[in-house]
Amino acid sequence: MPIIQQLGVYMIENKKDDKVTFEQHPAFEKKKKRSSKYKGIKQSEVNPFNNIIEQHTEHKNRIIKIVFIIVMILSVLIIIKVASNEYTKSIEKATKLEKMNQVISLIDIQMNKADLFQKEQLATRAIIQYDKIIKYDFINRRQWIEKQDKYKQMILQSFPVLGMKKGINYIVPTILTTMKHIPKGNFTIGRRQGKGDDDELPFKKISITSEFWMSESEITNYQIKKIMPNHSSGKWGKYFLSGDSLPAVNISWQEANLFCRSLTEAEQNVNRIPKNYEYRLPTEAEWEYACRAGTETIYFWGDKFGELGAQFANTRDGRFIKLEKWNKERGIAKNDKHIVSAPVKSYAPNGFGLYDMTGNVWEWCADWYRPKAYMHISQENPLNSRPVEVVISKMRESDAERYVIPSPAKVMRGGSWGNLPSECRSAAREYAEAKDKNTGVGFRIVLAPKILNTLKQ
C-alpha cells in the first residue's frame, strides 16, 4: 500500500473496486485525549511542582511589597514624631533659657540699688546662674561663658580687709563663698547650765585675739567641686545629698583639710590673702565663739528649742521620728521642713550672720579631741594640737553591730539633721577619726591666723 503526500499530509492509497481512496496514515492522526473515569477532575498540562514555586514566589513578592509599604509609613511617622519632639524640645529649651535669663535681668536691676559688697553677692548669684545655663545649653557654652566673665570680674577685687572697726565681708572668687567678718573678743567656752556631757566642763573664759572670717554657711557641693571636682556626697536611704546648694558631706577631716590647703594656695597665687593668714578649718574655740555670737544661752537664740528652734536649725523633728522611728525628746519641733540635710541658708542666721551653726550637718574643727580639754587649754586662742587616744564607737557594715577602738580623733561641732536638739547645743562636742566619713558630717572654713603644721595629717 503506497504512501503518498498530499497537501503536506501523508496519506495511504487504497484501491478497492477500482476506486482509489486516501486515508490518513495512523502515525499522523491526532491522539484523542483519554477521558478520566473521575468526572469533574481536570488534570494539569504543566508540572504541578513549578506551579507551587511560582505561587510561593508571587506570595513572597506580595509580602515584601506590603512590608516595604509598612516600613515606609512607619519611617514617615517616626520622622514626623521625632521632628515634633525636637520642635517641642526647642520650644521648651527656649522657654527655660528665657526664664534663666530673666533671673540675670532681675539681678542686674537689683545691682543698681546695691552697695559694693551687695553687688559682689549679686554677681556671685549671676555666676552660679550662668553655670546652670552652661550645663543646660552646653552647645552654646562659649557665648554664655563670655557673658559670665563680666560678673566674675566684679568679684575678683573682693578682698578681706584687716583692722576695720566694723569689719568687711567679702567673697572668695575661687569657690564663690561669702566670708563673714568675726571680730576679736572674749567669751565663755563650755556648758553653763542644763544637761550635757562631762567633756563640756569646766566652762572657761577665752580670748580670741585676732579677727577672722568664717564662711557664712557650710561648704556646699557646688563650692567643693571648684577644688575637688570628683567629690560626691552620695545619698542617705532614698534621699540624695549631692544637690548644688546642699552641704558637702561624706568628707573626711583629711579631705576637708586638703581642701583648705588647696584653696590657700590658689588664693595666695593671686595675692588675695593677708600676711600670716590662711584658709583652714576653725579651731574649736573659734567655732564656739562664732556660733554663740555674743550669747551665753543653750542655743544662740535662747535656752529652749521647740518650734522657735525650727526657725534656726535643721535637727531631728517629729516628722522624722514618725518616718524613721528614731528616739525623741521633750521640746522637739513638729516639722522643720526637711528630713535630711537642707540647702544651706534655709534657716535664720545668728548674730554674726552665720547660717546653720546649729544642726544641718556636723562640722569638722582643726583640733584633736581631748575629753577634758577645757581643764588644760590656754585662755588665749586655745588649740588642742596634740593627738590623744580616745575610745571611738563604730558600726560594722556587715551586721550593723557596734564595736569600739582606741584611736586619736578630731573634733566635730554643731550637730546634724539626724540629731536630737539636745545634741546640737552650742556647747555640745563630738569626735571621730580623721579618716571617717558620714552623711551627717561636713565642714565650713575660716580665713584666720596660721596655726601649727602639726595639725596636718
Reply yes or no on whether the pLDDT at 6 is more than 70.
no
Which amino acid appears at position 364 of this protein? Answer: W
d(CA 14, CA 1): 7
Instruction: Tell me what pLDDT residue 28 has.
Output: 53
Which amino acid appears at position 256 of this protein? Answer: A
pLDDT, one tens digit per residue, over 37-64 is: 545 555 555 566 677 777 778 878 888 8
Q: How confident is the model over 332-339, as a mean pLDDT?
A: 95
Instruction: Tell me what pLDDT residue 38 has.
Output: 47
Q: Which regions of the chain carry the CATH code 3.90.1580.10?
A: 164-455
Cell output for 264: 590657700
Q: Are 418 and 316 within 8 A, CB to CB?
A: yes
Residue 2: asked if its preceding bond is cis (omega within 30°), the reply is: no
d(CA 128, CA 103): 11
Instruction: Tell me what pLDDT residue 210 has.
Output: 95
First to last CA, the chain: 135
pLDDT, one tens digit per residue, over 275-287 is: 999 999 999 999 9
Instruction: Tell me what pLDDT residue 85 has.
Output: 83
Which pTM value belongs to this model?
0.81
Strand partners, 278: 448
pLDDT, one tens digit per residue, over 188-220 is: 999 987 788 999 999 899 999 999 999 999 999
Arch. (CATH architecture) of 164-455: Alpha-Beta Complex (3.90)
Mean pLDDT of the chain: 88
Instruction: Output 154 or 397, whichever has higher pLDDT.
Output: 154
Q: Are 234 and 440 within 8 A, CB to CB?
A: no
d(CA 142, CA 196): 56
Reply yes or no on whether the pLDDT at 334 is more than 70.
yes
Strand partners, 186: 207
